[in-house]
Amino acid sequence: MNALIRDVEALLAPGERALWVGRPMTGFQLRKEDIALIPFSLMWGGFSFFWEFMAIKLALEAPHASAWIMPLFGLPFVLIGYQFILGRFISDMRRRSRTIFIITGERILSHGPKGTMAWKLAEIHDLTLSERKRGAGDIYFQGPVPELAGKVQKRFRGISMSARSPFELVANAKEAFSALVEAREKAMARNPSKHE
């Protein structure tokens, strides 16, 4: 718990106070898109593993070194199949186990292994809570591209960009959503000029 407190304090600006702190659900989690991805990944992986097995078998029986071209050709497809079938779930579990969501009086932050994304409360709108089982849920909102995405913004100068950004698989979603709505209303009251 002390590590979490240190992580949160390191992310806050001077004088900023965390109103709500949470994490995503941990462990293995399925999403709606897995309905299509799981059958596709099994077909892809099954074919690529079969291809690789047969190519290696033929290469072992062949008298010349050029027979190893086919197993080498199939190797990237086997690796992609592994990522589709199993690797994406492992990566997702690791990413979520290292992610923190923070709501302050001025911003909302999502801090994970790839960095911190922050949105100003006064600039977000269209808040939506999508509930799941066991109190979990996704919180979506519209707003400017988060501060982390400066590289993307530089590439597309002059183009107005907006991101529909979730707090994904929030463990206690209703509590987080209530805290976000309340903090946003207070931020809008302090900055009425941004919403006229």
pLDDT digits (tens, 9 = 90+) for 160-172: 444 445 688 898 8
Last residue of some domain: 46, 62, 94? Answer: 94
pLDDT number for residue 2: 63
pLDDT number for residue 193: 63
Report residue 79's pLDDT band, with 50, 70 and 90 as the boundaries.
very high
pLDDT number for residue 153: 43
Same domain, 128 and 191: yes
Same domain, 81 and 168: no
Among 3-17, 48-62, 106-120, 123-137, the range scoring the smallest mean pLDDT is 3-17
Reply yes or no on whether the pLDDT at 65 is more than 90. no
158 occurs within a structural domain: yes
pLDDT number for residue 116: 87
Whole-angstrom CA distances from 195 to 38, 106, 121, 144, 190 are 43, 15, 12, 14, 11
Same domain, 113 and 151: yes
- pTM confidence score: 0.74
- Mean pLDDT throughout 133-151? 74
11 occurs within a structural domain: yes
* Distance between CA atoms of residues 164 and 162, nearest Å: 7
pLDDT number for residue 148: 52
Domain, as residue range, for 57: 34-94
Report residue 84's pLDDT band, with 50, 70 and 90 as the boundaries.
very high
pLDDT number for residue 158: 44
Report residue 80's pLDDT band, with 50, 70 and 90 as the boundaries.
very high
29 occurs within a structural domain: no
Q: How large a percentage of the chain has pLDDT more than 70?
A: 85
CB atoms under 10 Å from CB of 94, counted, come to: 12
How many domains in the chain?
2
Same domain, 129 and 184: yes
| Mean pLDDT computed over every residue of the chain | 84
Same domain, 6 and 62: no
Reply yes or no on whether the pLDDT at 121 is more than 50. yes
